A and B are shown apart, each in its own frame.
Chain A
Amino acid sequence: AQSVTQLDSQVPVFEEAPVELRCNYSSSVSVYLFWYVQYPNQGLQLLLKYLSGSTLVKGINGFEAEFNKSQTSFHLRKPSVHISDTAEYFCAVSDKRVSQKLVFGQGTRLTINP
């Protein structure tokens, strides 16, 4: 079975500063990896996904993530954040053999201060 750990429950940063949201996963099989964003009282929106190929994945809103198989990590980064990036971010993993079931991390609340 897979599990996902998001190492920070809250991350405060100043506007225009860089940010990294950390995600580690545990799995005995090959996985697909995802980052979702949730704005208050809304559903989840896909930011980016890693299925195969290049380990650096670019997503929407200027976010990117790097898959590191040896460290079983999939950290999310943005070089310069904006107030509108304030939201909760979820890392998720699925088993390549049963790709339709997602396991989510606990979420990281990103707060951007002016």
Chain B
Amino acid sequence: DGGITQSPKYLFRKEGQNVTLSCEQNLNHDAMYWYRQDPGQGLRLIYYSQIVNDFQKGDIAEGYSVSREKKESFPLTVTSAQKNPTAFYLCASSESSYEQYFGPGTRLTVT
């Protein structure tokens, strides 16, 4: 089955800890994306990568970091510098065509 997997589905962390969210795709897509979703605010782009070993900041990159060492993988680290990290995080990928395909999401709760 082709698709995007995100793990874990639920993640709990203490304030001040860094946490890494996993995103893997077997669609052979070049581009991958990370979004943050908060109630009533739609999706906001955190980082995106159009090719291995290259990535760009999105609209709300502060307090986050990413890497793209393999085509299939695009992990997101939520650092302790992110002031309000509790949210639903969605990973997506796309080919040179136009629509993005989304993973099931990771709900992060920081207390």
Contact = CB atoms under 8 A, between A and B. Distances in A.
B50 A104 contact: no
Contacts of A90: 42-43
Q: How large is the interface on B (under 10, 10 to 19, 20 to 34, 35 or more residues)?
A: 20 to 34
Nearest to B31: A100
Interface string A73-114: 000000000000000001000100001111011110000000
B105 A34 contact: no
B99 to A, nearest CB: 5
Contacts of B41: 106
A111 to B, nearest CB: 15
17 contacts: A41-B107, A43-B102, A43-B104, A43-B105, A44-B43, A46-B99, A90-B42, A99-B98, A100-B50, A100-B94, A102-B43, A104-B42, A104-B44, A105-B42, A106-B40, A106-B42, A107-B40
Interface of A: 4, 9, 32, 34, 36, 41-46, 49, 51, 90, 94, 99-102, 104-107
Interface of B: 4, 6, 31, 40-45, 48, 50, 90, 92, 94, 98-105, 107
- The list of the 3 closest CB pairs from A to B, nearest first, reads A43-B102, A104-B42, A44-B102
